[in-house]
Structures are given as structure tokens and as C-alpha cells.
Structure 1
Amino acid sequence: MTTTSIRATKKHQFERLQMRNVSRSYSKGSFALTDLDLSLGRGEFVALLGPSGCGKSTALACMAGLQPLTSGSIWRDDQRIDNLPTEKRGFGMVFQNYALFPHMTVQKNVEFGLKMRKVARPERATRASRTLELVQLSEHAGRLPAQLSGGQQQRVAIARALAIDPEIVLMDEPLSNLDASLRVELRTEIKRLYQERGLTVLYVTHDQEEALSLATRLVVLRAGKLEQTGTPEEVYTNPVSAYVAGFMGYRNLFSAVASASRSDGTIEVDLNGQRLLGTFRSPGAPQPGAKVTVAIRPEDVKLSAGTAADGLEVIAEVVEYHGRELAVQTRTRGGIVIHLRTGEQVSAGNDVRLQISPDRVLVYSDEAHIDEEGQVKTVG
């Protein structure tokens, strides 16, 4: 039997899983989640994205039944499930620390969930073997976890989650303990399994590249509340706030002052004495003199050989060789740090001019935490 022919056969197909106005507090007045509404449709791969402390792992734990709700409810279609124990919710779960039993073989680890569900021994052995085939670990079935690499152990954890034929798979930063090359390899494996098995996945991560490559929909959390949701392309190209922009590759985040709005829809901002044109993304229009936050991707910053009026004069401070391109940290005369990536030659100490298209300069109302150097800290 080929791996592509093995598919789950679910007894009760659900259409939608919902968290309705879910709150979770750990102490009086301190909430990890506040009135969170989260929806997951059958066949979706939803990534919960945000920094440590934003509530994403708490949301997953509440969904799984590992933590009680302070208020709100969780529904699978028209059935309320937040009053059910974890093992009755029908979820497969994968954690960042693998959570394998060290004294059990790979085969027995994968069979464990089936055994708890009182599946007959011959059937659970067959299902475990087929699932190990899916994750390409059949030849390691008789080994102990300690005899496997980190990536192989995480594959065993994924196989154990899939073996019970779950309606939904919950994954809490499953790749965070792996080195870079293994993360990429296993990320591809998770995507393959999602596509081949027709899975429904709720996935927690703080890594925007991971979220973009895996998910069909992103949910960005901020201090326990939903900040933005949409397809990866929607969130990547149109972040609703500087906070979201900080997780979607806009490494250049800094404070500025609004100067004037133009008839072509652009806005002029002042960067400690230098002028920059951008596109305002918050509701309304800022008054001249109002503080704003500017967000720019490093790849959208270009080196200019001319003296264009809209260019920024900077000094190249740090130049890193990244193969086909250089990663360059520059600083304006006013002390603002701007990062760029370029294939052109530049050396530390060079005076250079930067060109940035106004539609690539996103301007928001002043909403983020600014440090002493004028940089935005995207913390929850």
C-alpha cells in the first residue's frame, strides 16, 4: 500500500470548530485570553501566530481541554465540548518536547493512543504500522526513542497523533526544538501529511516563515486577543497594524512624525529631519505633527546611486555576506536604524542613499512600544 493511498475514514465528519468569547485568567485581573473568538473549518490549516505571552499556547491548551475556561465555550458544530475531558474531544496532539515514552519502542509509542481507546491489539498494530509508513519510519519501529534523532522523534510524535484517526490535529510549536535544516525538512513533511490525509490542523508558532509556508489561514494574537486573521497572502501583504507587520517580515519598524498628506494618497513623514513618503494604513488620516509608526521590509529598500529628493541619506554600519546578497544595517543622520538586503556591493562605513517606493512604506497610528533608539518593540 502506498502512503498516498492511506486516508483517514472518520465516523463523524465535523464542519466547524469554534471558540466563542473564550477567556482564561491565571490570577485575579490577569488574563491570558480575553473574549477570544476562533473558528476552524474542516480541512483548514490554521496557524496561531504571535510572540511568547500572547496567548497562542493557552488557546491551544483550552481547545484541547488541558486548561479550563474562565468564561466562554467551545463548540464542534452544534455540540458543546468544553465540558468534555481531553480524551473525549477526538483531537490528536503534538508538542514541542515530543512527549514520547522512553521505555517503549517506536511501535508501542504510536500504538499507545489506540490502546487507551481499547482498540484490539491486531488492529492497533496494523494502524500503527501504516502510520509509521506515512512518516517514513517503518524501519525504526523496534527502536527506542533515545536511539532516534530529534527529527525522527518528532515524526514518531506526529505518527502517534495521526494513528488515532483524529478529527483535528493540534500542534504546539512542534519544530522549535529542532535545528534549522531539520525544521525545514519536517515542515515539508507536515505539509505533505496535511495534504495527503486531508487533515484539519490548529498549529501554534512564533515563526512567520513557518506559518506562511504551512497554513491556509493565519490568526495573529496580541495580548490574548485576535489582532488579524486572513490567508497568508492577505496578512503578509496587508498587515492591519505595526504589531502584525512586525511578525510578517517588516523588520524595519520605527517611530516618525506625520508631516502632510498628499493628493495622490501618500503621506509624508519626518524621520528626525529626513523626509519619507508612505501609505497610511490605519483608519482616518493623521494630523500634521502626530506620531506614527513606519513599517518597511528589508527587501523593499533599494540602494540609489542618484540624489533623488525622496531618498534617505544613511551610513552603512554592518554588512553581512549571505551568499547571493548582502544584509546591511544602516543608520540615518537622525539615528534611525534601517535594514536592507542587496546584491550590490557596499562596505561598512560607506555613505549611501536609500530609495523606497511609497507603496512599500506602511504608516500606522502610533500604537507600538518605541525604545530609546526609536525602534518599535512588537511585544504582546
Structure 2
Amino acid sequence: MEGVSRWYGRSPALLDLDLELSNGEFVALLGPSGCGKSTALACMAGLQPLTTGAIWRDSTRIDMLPPERRGFGMVFQNYALFPHMSAQRNVEFGPRMQGAGRAERARKAAEALELVQLGDYASKLPSQLSGGQQQRVAIARALAVEPEVVLMDEPLSNLDAALRVELRTEIKRLYQERGLSVLYVTHDQEEALSLATRLVVLRAGRLEQTGRPEEVYTNPASAYVAGFMGYRNLFSGQVSGAGHASPRGRTAGVVVDGTRLTGLLRGGAATSAPGAPGDPVSVAIRPEDVVVGSRGGRGNELDAVAEVVEYHGRELAVQARTAGGSVLHVRTDQHVGAGEQLTLRIDPERVLVFPGAGAGAPGGEEVGRGDDH
């Protein structure tokens, strides 16, 4: 995708997006509802026209071609199966549109259904299949056309938690065994991390960060990206003073709601001065990096009260409130009760500091299902 933009009236859904998918890559487009990820996929598939820009497959420009001539397989969020057709006939539809004869399309459909472990369900109608089975049929239909690229638009979001995990593993297996190239849309960072070989985080139609999952997870480029990579605690603060050099970078002192913390500079601040005292910053902390303990340990220390405690099996999810009034999310394997006074410690290198107040954190943007248009 080269300089691709898509406008709806005066509202841009994509702005000058450059995106390259290499052979054998699994690229996940990640972001909240409304960031443009589904629009990007629809433009790639030919379901939406471009306002500006071009789409190329190797040296061939394809954005003027109809969807069926682009060489892509498509898996939709809502399955999009023909209700009056059996699983076999649904999967045969793509090869039939390609002009395959009856015997050839039957063979391709049977092979694709076997790949998704539904060979015994070929005669079933969609209404006779579970949601997970219907999505497997949709995946088989995409594979039956032997596509160069498979496009997937939030294919697991309509399934329950257990089925999502099961089908996630199935998609990864198919990707690895078949050597597929995949462009995958999701708002779920866990899903993206587990499946993709590269992440592309979009914000308001623009590319915010791209890289290998471990790179984006460990070194988010902004508070906005940090919000999608598990940094649930996002605060606005001010610079209180310069810090020191550490193996992971430079640190700075910050103040958040009257609480003094030391954190690791990220974004533009990581390569420049941390700013003058009082300059605005955004602070990001993962819940699992907050340690419940006693005073005297290494790192930032603060007092808080546990307000809400949720049991999550091996650990507890705790919502605590600091003396300064900030809500802090904590994950711990220690016993904590609601109303309990807590001492919390955070390693300074686990506190990320980004320049600018708010710095684009996802607060206020719904992270969930919805129409990206």
C-alpha cells in the first residue's frame, strides 16, 4: 500500500498509509475501533475504493482490479456464509468464481475442509454448525482459492473466550503449515502478539508504530501504543528533575498527582533532554510491574488502598487508589483484601515516561468491537 488514503466525505479513515507485506509474513493491524484498520483491509481487498494512493502486488498495480482478480482470500468477522448452502458448497464458491470445473472445485473444497478439521461436516448447513465451526468453514473458503495473501478482519471477535483460543491456535497452525501470507485485523493485543510476526499499530488512520511483536511490546513508541501493549496504568504528569543513565536508557523524575516517581525516558524524550521541571509528560506502568510489599526495597514506593479485588486464579487483579488520588491497577499473587492499606513498589526501569501530556493514550477511545468506518 503506497500513500493510501480513504475519506468519507470530509472525514479521513486512512491518511497516507504506507504498508508492505512480504511473502510468508503474518502482519497484524492493531488499534481501537475507528483507527482505520478495517478500512485498510477493505481497501486492500477491493471492497472500498481509494481516495488517493496505490496498491501493488510485486510490480503489478491492483487497486483498479475487482476483488476476485486480486488473488486474495478473505475471512470476515461475521463469517458471511450462504445460509442455504452446505459447508461444501460454501467452500466451493471461490473456486467456482475462478472458473474451476465441478470436479476440481469439489476436490479443492474437500481439501480445505480437511485442513480445518471439518471433513465430516461437508454436508451440514451453517445453521447446523457452531460459531467456531462456521468460522472454520469461512477460513476453508478463503484457502480454497489458493490465495497469495489471506485477509482476516477480526475473525475471532464473535466467539467466546475458549473458542477464540482454540481457533487462534488453528490459524497459527495453518499459517505455519501452509506458508501463508496474512494481513490480520484485531483490537486484541494478546491475539496480535500470539499470532503475528509483525505488528502495525494504527492511530486515526496513520501508522503509529511497526515492528516485531517483542519490539513493540517491550519498547512502545508512545503512550498510545503502550496502552495497547498492556500498560493499563496511564497517567499525565510533569517533569520534576533529571535522572541518570541506566542500561536501558536515561531516567527522569516525574510527579503524578503529587506522587514523585522515577521512570525511563521513551519516545522523543529518550534521545533528548527530559525537559524543564513542570513540562508535561505521560507515564505508563504495567499492572504486573507493580509489586505489593513493604518499604525499604529498591525503586519507587507509594502508599495506596485496595478498592476492588478480583480473583483471577493464580493471581489477583487489584484496583488501588494512591494517596494522591490516582487509580492504579495491580496484578499480584499475594493475598490482598478490599480496604487494605498497601505499600507498592515499582522498578524505575518499568515506569515509561513519554513527552507530552496525554501523549495519545487510548483513554476515551473505545477498544472493542465496532465498525472502523
Q: With the length of structure 2 as denominator, give the TM-score of the two structures.
A: 0.93
Once structures 1 and 2 are overlaid, which stretch shifts more, 47-56 or 275-284? 275-284
Deviates more, 1:246-255 or 1:282-291: 282-291
Q: Is the 8 A contact 2:281 2:359 kept in 1?
A: no
Matches within 5 A, 1:98-177: 98-177=79-158
Give the secondary-structure state (helix, strand or coil) at the position aligned to 1:23.
Answer: strand
Percent identity, please: 68
Which amino acid is the alignment partner of residue 281 of structure 1?
A: R
Following superposition, the deviation at residue 274 of structure 1 comes to: 1.8
1:243 and 2:243 matched? no
Alignment of 1:272-283 (within 5 A): 272-283=257-268
- 1:67 equivalent in alignment to 2:48: yes
Q: Verify: 1:334 aligned to 2:324, yes or no.
A: yes
CA 218–378 in structure 1, closer or farther in 2 if over 3 Å, else same: farther
> Aligned with 2:300: secondary structure?
coil
Q: Does the CA contact (< 8 Å) of 2:235 and 2:358 recur in 1?
A: no
Report the AA paired with residue 319 of structure 2. Q
Indicate the residue corresponding to 2:363 in structure 1.
377
Structure 1 residue identity aligned to 2:136? R
Which sits farther off after the overlay, 317-326 or 361-370? 361-370
Alpha-carbon separation, structure 2, partners of 1:307 and 1:60: 52
Give structure 2 stretches of 5+ with no counterpart.
Answer: 367-373
Question: By how many angstroms is 1:310 displaced?
Answer: 3.0
CA deviation vs aligned residue, 1:238-290 (integer Å, no higher than 9, x gap): 00000000001100111111100123331111122221110110222222101
2:222·2:359 contact (CA, 8 Å) conserved in 1?
A: no
**Is 1:324 the equivalent of 2:306?**
no
**Pairing of 1:25-64 with structure 2 (within 5 A):** 25-28=7-10, 30-64=11-45
Instruction: Map 1:303-318 to 2 at 5 A.
Output: 303-307=292-296, 310-318=300-308
State the distance in 2 between where 1:296 and 1:40 align: 32
Q: How many residues align?
A: 357
Q: Please say if 1:20 is aligned against 2:2.
A: yes
Aligned partners of 2:25 and 2:359: how far apart in 1?
33
For the residues of structure 2 that align with 1:243 and 1:306, how far apart are their CA atoms? 32
Which residue in 2 is equivalent to 1:229?
210
- 2:255 aligned residue (270, 279, 301): 270
Q: Give the conservation status (yes or no) of the 8 Å contact 1:266–1:280.
A: yes
Given residue 283 of structure 2, which amino acid in structure 1 is its aligned partner? V
* Offset at residue 368 of structure 1 (A): 2.7
SS in 2 for 1:190: helix
- Separation in structure 2 between the aligned mates of residue 376 and residue 77 of structure 1, nearest angstrom: 35
Q: CA deviation at 1:235?
A: 0.3
- For 1:335 and 1:307, locate their aligned partners in 2 and report how far apart those are by CA, in whole Å: 23
Contact 2:292/2:343, CA 8 A, preserved across alignment: yes
RMSD of the alignment, in Å?
1.4
Q: Deviations over 1:350-375 (max 9, x none)?
A: 111111111110000125379xxxx9
Is 1:95 aligned to residue 76 of structure 2? yes
Question: Does the alignment pair 1:298 with 2:293?
Answer: no
Q: Which residue of 1 aligns with 2:278?
A: 289
Higher relative contact order (CA 8 A, sep 6+): 2
* TM-score normalised according to structure 1 size: 0.92
- The residue type paired with residue 43 of structure 1 is G
SS at match of 2:140: helix
Q: Can you give the 5+ residue segments of structure 1 that lack an aligned partner in the other structure?
A: 1-18
> Secondary structure in 1 aligned to 2:183?
strand
CA distance in 2 between partners of 1:310 and 1:150 (Å): 47
